[in-house]
Chain A
Amino acid sequence: MADDKKFAGFICTGCGIGERLDAGQLETTAKRDGKMATCQQHEMLCSKEGVQLIRDAIDKDGATHVMIAACSRRAKVEAFSFTDVAMSRANLREGVIWARPENDDNQETTQEMADDYIRMACAEVKYMNKPKMSGEQALNKNILVVGGGVTGMTAALETAAAGFPVHLVEKTGALGGWAAKWHKRIPGRAAADGVGNGTNVDLPMPMDNDVEQMVAAVEASELITVHLNSTVTKTSGAPGRFSVDITTESGSTATENIGAIVQASGWKEFDASAIPSLGSSNADVVSNVELEALAKAAGDGPIKRPSDGKEVKSVVFVQNAGQASTAEGHLPYHSGIGDLIAIKQAIYFKAQNGKDCDTTILFDNLRTPGAAGEDFYRSGQQQMVIFSKGQVGEVTSGGNGATVSFKDLILDEEVKLEADLVVLDLGMVPNSGPDPYAANESQEGMTDEEKGDAKAAAEIAVPIDSILNLDYRQGSDLPQLKWGFTDSHFICFPYETRRTGIYAAGPVRRPMDIKQAQDDATGAAMKAIQAAVNAGQGSAAHPRVGDLSYPSFRKEGCTQCKRCTVECPFGAINEDEKRYPMFNESRCRRCGTCMGACPVRVISFENYSIDSVGQQIKAVDIPDEFSEKPRILVMACENDAYPALDQAAMSGQEISPWARIIPVRCLGSVSLSWVTDAMNSGYDGIIMMGCQRGDDYQCHFVRGSTMAAERMAKVGDTLSTLNLEPERVIVHEVAITDIERAPRLIKDMEEVVERVGMSPFKF
């Protein structure tokens, strides 16, 4: 109901805006070009009085659409938080006055910039609506935890402690997982403050295994329902309304309504038969997992070796066995905690088999992550464990047990070491389901014939059991990043997966020890609770937390091309019975990748659409071809590139006066139509700034910048049909730290335009 819309503009003249710019002219622009019904100036709009001015316009004068021209939309978000109207912001401070030098020569172009940003903000708000809940929501507090090991139990206990009911599903007949089998634990604390270097100081020692107490706590909790001997056979729905089938071994199925899910499916031990040269067939060569059983069986007495029950008097730990290796069948990564385990186990021998038990750890790169870390290494040294930097060639039978041949890398010589027992440090293999994208992503760039071969190979390979059995169009399980670990950004959003409301924790995410897994589980549990609560409110999860908008589409325009369902990084879009896209609002992260993908432009959000950006592009005043004033459109990712440009202005760097910067949710949301429209309207250059893509991606929506790069790779053809030079459009990866680079990239485009000439499309 367009008649009910009432537009109000506000211009802040504080922070030097009033001195640098002609506010009167800005007001005229907002009213005349921007069609704002009212436009008011205030000397400090973010002050109590300024905010009240806006509030009054909404409450008393009935403004429904508000345009605020002040600082960057990333600044003063608390002051300018008007959730009951549609709102846009014109960036006059960071975007204009701080980015331009203050002198008479530049006054004209600076004012033009400011006028354009006013026009753009007015155009944007005209095509926005106040987002509101879809009404589909209800708070569902049930959290499903898949996996009953330390990670799963911790997630369950933490969730229950926050007052949320938990369904804990465990495949085997007992809780505790691997950790229940351990003799002792790696210590989780560093030495006390003030404990310095020494030869007999108080350093962390292996801790008692407390998994039993944990199991008891889970069993005692009234909020936790434990499903033993059970698996998840079907997961459908979305955060807040997952419907999960939990099936027992005997075949009986219970269906539960779930708000959010934590997948803690853990790890498998690397199969030592892949490394026969390390003597895996010798009974006195055991894995680190097997040694735990030997130590546990010994109680506090001496550890005996498996072949003949002899008390072990010499033991060699072969670190990094079959890990971080490019050889066939080896693990390409390093599990990271193997050296901590070896130190722990070496101390078992010193404590149980006597001080004179020779324990040697043959390491390659000694790594002791975690809080105890270096102190635990020192603890081992203090117990007279011998650490040798050595590259193990082979382990042979013979002597009194086994003989380890290695190259001592410090003394630079070949050594043979006899031992009663040899312990191999085997890696941790994630216990993931099948990767939904394995075929697609690994086949990028393959010929049809190669794809056929890959398909045949995949059919021969042993099928992996699904963990979650997701009833999603995009596959049954969580997408993976590398080597079977679930996808997550290890710094920025560690527990997030590409399936909203499902969080991965523990060694399924990356190899880790008990302490790290507990921290991980706690984090994932908190995220799951957030997801359930957000879903109940209809608001987005990370990174657009609180956004109430969600994608909708014009059914009559849809051609059922399926691109949105395929390209959505989060698998949010299913198909309905009539093969139209079906948006699962609470799975959606609001990145707009579907909007950028849609060739017929029928997908939009209330507060972000083809028009809300397209009209900004058109609102810019394009000077004629002979004015020597080019226009460069910059579409910058709101998460990284846009703040980098803000920061550039704050640190006093100049940004080209020809640039008109529009923040986009993700480069993935950029529609090709914006590019062609911009070219047709006479822009001379277009820069798209998104996040790093690939395996070490920084894209907040994981695949958005990758999708954009793929789409834009074809933009050259479009330009050629318009008889335009392809270099007028460029996609850059810009990180939030590229404060000096980002303005330089715009400057580079200025030079390109100078070289190839102004666009002939100016009217």
Chain B
Amino acid sequence: MSDMNKAMVEKYRNSFLSEVEANVEEGEWVKMCMQCGVCAGSCPLGDAWEHTPQKIFMMIRAGKRDEVLASDSMWMCTSCYNCIVRCPRELPITHIMHGLAHYAKRLGIVPQGQPTAKFAQLFWDNLIKKGRVNELKLGLSLYFMNGFGEGIKTSLKMKDIGLGMVKTKRMNPMEMLGGHAVKDLSGFQKVIKKAQELEEARLAKHGA
């Protein structure tokens, strides 16, 4: 258990709802859910999830902290926004799902091998280096996400498409060597740093 997670458990004891309200993006909306289930019925991937948004919200109120934060359901959200559009109470459900995933990630309780979480990390690492996404590197890191052997296999399978993209100038192989950055990379990094400071401050206020 991460230190921060321990601190949060200590602070909120019974009221996981309050914890979510204070720490999860748009978490203050969870209390307003009226359990109609329209979100659950509207989710195109609802059948594939362990818990629907309706259930997640009820579990939050029931104080099922570990089950919610360790659930992989919110990681499965594809941001289709069907639930947001249909929610009669206008809860920003998609945002809450991402907020919960983000919070779980910060607390260090992400389900082992969760592919969305893995990809999100790759995307972040890629982005933060140059201030823009290096598509070639991101694609390759995705191929090799599950090991070297599988990476080679996927690369070979995709080689014709890759060569075709190079030929039609949709992809530049030189990007492998460092790749280009945004115009003001240090400025970009300052922005990110500032955002992180603000978030830490917010956490310090509400959380640990």
Contact = CB atoms under 8 A, between A and B. Distances in A.
A378 B62 contact: no
A382 B34 CA distance: 12
A638 interface: no
B35 A358 contact: no
Interface residues of B, number: 21
Contact of A389 (B31, B35, B59, B90): B35
B94 interface: no
Contacts of A377: 34
A382 B62 contact: no
Interface in A389-404: 389
Contact of B90 (A196, A200, A381, A388): A196
A312 B208 CA distance: 27
Contacts of B62: 388, 408, 411, 415
Interface string B75-91: 00000000000000111
A606 B59 CA distance: 73
Contacts of B54: 410
A378 B88 CA distance: 12
A721 interface: no
A128 to B, nearest CB: 59
Interface string B141-174: 0000000000000000000000000000000000
Given A196-B90, A410-B55, A388 B61 contact: yes
B123 interface: no
A553 interface: no
Nearest to A380: B31
Contact of A386 (B17, B21, B55, B89): B17
Interface in A177-230: 196-197, 199-200
A53 interface: no
Nearest to A417: B62
A387 interface: yes
A387 B89 CA distance: 15
B179 to A, nearest CB: 43
A305 B21 CA distance: 29
B104 to A, nearest CB: 19
B55 A199 contact: no
A356 interface: yes
Contacts of B90: 196-197
* Chain A interface SS verdict (over half): mixed
B5 interface: no
Interface residues of A, number: 19
Contacts of B32: 197, 199, 378, 381-382
A15 interface: no
Interface of B: 14-15, 17-18, 21, 28-29, 31-32, 34-35, 54-55, 58-59, 61-62, 64, 89-91
B166 to A, nearest CB: 51
A197 B89 CA distance: 6
Contacts of A730: none
A650 interface: no
Contact of B35 (A196, A199, A378, A410): A410
Given A199-B31, A384-B31, A411 B15 contact: no
A390 to B, nearest CB: 10
Given A386-B61, A408-B62, 18 more contacts: A196-B90, A197-B89, A197-B90, A199-B31, A199-B32, A358-B15, A377-B34, A378-B89, A381-B31, A381-B34, A382-B31, A384-B21, A386-B17, A387-B61, A389-B35, A410-B35, A410-B58, A411-B64
Nearest to B51: A411
Contacts of B91: 197
What are the nearest 6 A-B pairs in CB distance? Answer: A197-B90, A199-B28, A410-B58, A386-B61, A381-B31, A381-B32
B95 to A, nearest CB: 13
Given A358-B14, A384-B17, A386-B17, A199 B58 contact: no
Nearest to A410: B58
Contacts of A389: 35
Nearest to A201: B32
B52 to A, nearest CB: 10
Interface in A531-576: none
A386 B64 CA distance: 14
Contacts of B58: 388, 408, 410-411
23 contacts: A197-B32, A199-B28, A199-B29, A200-B28, A356-B15, A358-B14, A358-B15, A377-B34, A381-B32, A381-B34, A382-B32, A384-B15, A384-B17, A384-B18, A384-B31, A387-B34, A387-B61, A388-B58, A408-B58, A410-B35, A410-B54, A411-B58, A411-B64
A388 B55 CA distance: 12
